[in-house]
A and B are shown apart, each in its own frame.
Chain A
Amino acid sequence: MFGISGCGAPSGDVTLQGSGATFPAPLYKRWFLEYYRQNSAFRVNYSPIGSGAGIRQFTSGLVSFGASDAGMSQKEIAKLPEKFGGVLLLPMTAGLIVLSYNVAGVQQPIRLSRTAYVRMFLREITKWNAPEIAKDNSGLKLPDQSITVVTRADSSGTTYAFTTHMAAVSKALGVDWTPGVDKSVAWKESIAAQGNDGVAALIQLTPGAIGYIEYGYAKLAGLRMAALENQSHSFILPDEDGKSGEKALEGAEIPDDLQIKVADPKSSEAYPIVTYTWILSRKHYEDPREAESLKTLFLHCLEDSQQKIAQELGYVKMPSPVVARLRTELQKLTAAR
């Protein structure tokens, strides 16, 4: 929503509204607050209502910009109103998806091979002391405990990114990934909760649980995270400074629509499950000030100082070619003629 606030504020103040993904919400809120501090005539509100709802509100013109962890599908893009002049999909940051678990008495991080974690989510491995898990964890005393899979009850970009990765790995392993790839899939035998924080709470509560959540939420809840085997067969832990995530993003092909997919990164130092998250902006805004404000804001978020904030909050620093490409892409954001 674009408007001039009327409550005694000096004229020329701009308030913009965005909504969408929950995954980058802590970062967006921080960015927009920082920007407001430097530039008090410009205020941005962000409502984390989920990627799907964000796309819907963006399409219906209720908000200035949307945000989605799954980008936008061709079908969704086709539904956009003509006056938008098209959509800019801007990957603003990236994050790790971790496998968190609740296994009592195991101090060291559990190492999970590609076969092991795919088959856990397919419910083919159902005990923590199964030979497929034990063979990579010779030093650990794994309990004879049932595995409970915890998933998302709501439709989410995190699920989309996670199933994209699982499908890619399954294909490489020659396994049939039955749940498919979507924002919401039919899991076999799982318990489910709403939101990243809901899944984190449920893992904490359920002995023997394993579930997928965004790194920041797992860290906040103090959950243990598994070291996962990547494509080059090294076991990688999700790390504090995001180096393993940066490795995963390196060298990924940048398609024209900027919907960069890193389903199964190749680098031997890469953490295997990483996803970009996108801001959805119109190409043309009717109000020239709205266009100018958003362009300035997005360019500001790409600056090194702001990307450093992303790193501090547990997100992954974007590779410089992507940032350079985004700067050029943002020149397309203009006022409607």
Chain B
Amino acid sequence: MVPVTQERKNIARPPTARERAVDVSFRWITRIVAGLTAVVVALIVILVAKQAVPAIVKYGPHFVVSTHWDAGKGQCGILPEIVGTLLSSTIGVALAAVFGIAVAVFLTEEFIPRWLESVLKNVVTLLAAIPSVVYGLWGIFVVIPAIRPGCNWLHGHLGWIPLFSTPLLSVGLLPAALVLTIMILPTVTAISRDAIAAVDPLLREAAFGMGATRWETILGVTLPTSRRGVYGAIVLGLGRALGETMALAMLVGSANVISPSLFSPADTLAALLANKFPEAASPLDLGALMYAALVLLILTLLVNMGGEWIMRRDSEGEGAKRAGTKTGTKEVAK
């Protein structure tokens, strides 16, 4: 048995030189690692930009508004790819947000027993472990045959609506966006689930106590309180959707067209890079692809900044409200 006095003495003693060294080196290691992360990102941007220089000089800003890609003839434009990337990601994220938040609410609001909740939660998380190629194959062999009759019926009967103006041949924008939805569902679900679960139970109980129904509580209290986390989930999902490569390269059709139709084949920036990179030989070819990569980087950055801005604007309003009413809602971690 250790004498009590001995223990007290130990606690009160000043830090040894060794402990101080550990402290200092730990602080420096964290600084260096954090700094390195920023350096890596900066290096990637710089290297991509550097390799893109020949193409930037040759094609200039025309690159992002031109629709023709024929590297052999020295013509490169990526407007169809930009449009395709934005369209497929927007559709994918919109659907994933609806499903993901619904699943997150279902998993947190005691609709089902605890054990079933954790089983379902793990099943959704497992979706994130499936390789991209498998999603691509699943899209080709399951999704496309499943949605084709419905899509072609829509085209046959409502073909005058621009959204349905082409038939669904096989690969195309809609199958790509649907598979994308499933792929980003785990991201959106997991993060919004955590945000919703972090809402103070007292708030919920108070709402019930005031006679609110479950609907009113979820829509009026739980979701608004956790919205920062839910926004964060959607922005992260969008980031993943913009950069997703393999499954989209397999499903989107790699067609250099801009069409208002959901069923038309399209192309995305990431798919273009994956398809053309292995054989890009000359500095100009490589430059054009790096230019496209740079555009994709900027696009992703803009989306993230946009998301951040929405969140910040929103929480500013929240702060004002909070100051006014003097009620402290629990801050929800992003």
A: which residues have CB within 8 A of B?
49-53, 55-56, 76, 146, 148, 153-156, 180, 182-186, 189-194, 198, 201-202, 205-209
Flag if B275 contacts A186 (CB, 8 Å).
no
Judge whether B72 and A49 touch: CB under 8 Å. Answer: no
9 new A-B contacts, CB < 8 A, other than A191-B265, A194-B274, are A153-B271, A154-B276, A155-B280, A183-B72, A183-B279, A185-B72, A186-B75, A192-B253, A205-B144
The answer on a CB contact under 8 Å between A180 and B73 is yes
Q: Which B residues are CB-close (under 8 A) to A182?
A: 72
Q: Is the CB of B249 within 8 A of A153?
A: yes
- Cross-chain contact B140 with A205 (CB below 8 angstroms): yes
Query: Please, how many angstroms separate the alpha-carbon atoms of A150 and B71 in the complex?
Result: 19
Judged by a CB distance under 8 angstroms, whether B278 is at the interface is yes
Q: Is the beta-carbon distance between B140 and A186 smaller than 8 angstroms?
A: no
* Complex Cα spacing A198 to B133, Å: 12
- Tell me the nearest residue of chain B to A192, going by C-beta: B254
Q: Is B163 close to A, CB under 8 A? A: no
Q: How far is the CB of B211 from chain A (nearest CB, A)?
A: 56
Task: Point out which of A50, A53, A153, A185 has the most chain B C-beta atoms below 10 A from its C-beta.
Answer: A153
B171 with A185: CB separation less than 8 A: no
- CB pair B72 A202 closer than 8 Å: no
Are A189 and B275 closer than 8 Å at their CB atoms? no
The docked-state distance in angstroms from the alpha carbon of A146 to that of B75 is 29
For window 209-261 of B, CB contacts with A under 8 Å fall at: 249-250, 253-257
Is B21 positioned at the interface, with any CB of A under 8 Å from its CB?
no
Q: Identify which of B75, B170, B253, B276 gathers the most chain A CB atoms within 10 Å of its CB.
A: B170
Nearest-neighbour CB distance to chain B for A145, whole angstroms, equals 10
Q: Give B168's nearest chain A residue, CB to CB.
A: A206
- Is A53 a contact partner of B278 (Cβ separation < 8 A)? yes
Instruction: Specify which chain B residues have a CB less than 8 angstroms from the CB of A76 in the assembled complex.
Output: 281
Q: Is the CB of A207 within 8 A of B254?
A: no
Nearest CB to that of A181 among chain B residues? B72
Q: Which residue of B lies closest to A52 (CB)?
A: B279
Nearest residue (CB) in A for B252 is A191
Interchain Cβ contacts under 8 Å between A and B, 23 examples: A49-B278, A51-B279, A52-B278, A52-B279, A76-B281, A154-B275, A154-B276, A154-B279, A180-B70, A180-B72, A182-B72, A184-B71, A185-B70, A191-B170, A191-B171, A191-B254, A194-B274, A194-B275, A201-B140, A205-B144, A205-B170, A205-B171, A207-B170
Contact of B279 among A50, A148, A189, A206 (CB under 8 A): A50
Bound-complex Cα distance A289 to B169 (A): 55
Does B321 interact with chain A (Cβ within 8 Å)? no
Contacts of A208 in B (CB 8 A): 169
Report whether A153 and B279 are in contact in the complex, using a CB–CB cutoff of 8 Å: no
Which residues on A sit within 8 Å (CB–CB) of B50? none
List, in ascending order, chain B residues with CB within 8 A of A56's CB: 281
Partner of A153, one of B71, B75, B275: B275
Task: Verify if B99 is at the interface (C-beta below 8 Å from A).
Answer: no
Chain B residue contacts of A184, Cβ below 8 A: 71-72, 276, 279
- Residues of A close to B171: CB separation below 8 A: 191, 193, 202, 205-206
Contact in complex: B249, A194 (CB < 8 Å): yes
- For residue B330, CB closer than 8 A to chain A, the reply is no
Q: How far is the CA of A207 from the CA of B167 in the complex (A)?
A: 11
Give the Cβ gap from B144 to chain A, nearest Cβ, in Å: 7
State A153–B257 Cα separation when bound (angstroms).
14
Bound form: Cα–Cα A318–B43 in Å: 51
B68 an interface residue at 8 Å Cβ cutoff?
Answer: yes
Distance from A120 Cβ to chain B, minimum over Cβ atoms (Å): 15
What B residues does A156 contact at CB under 8 A? 279
B69 interface residue per 8 A CB criterion: yes
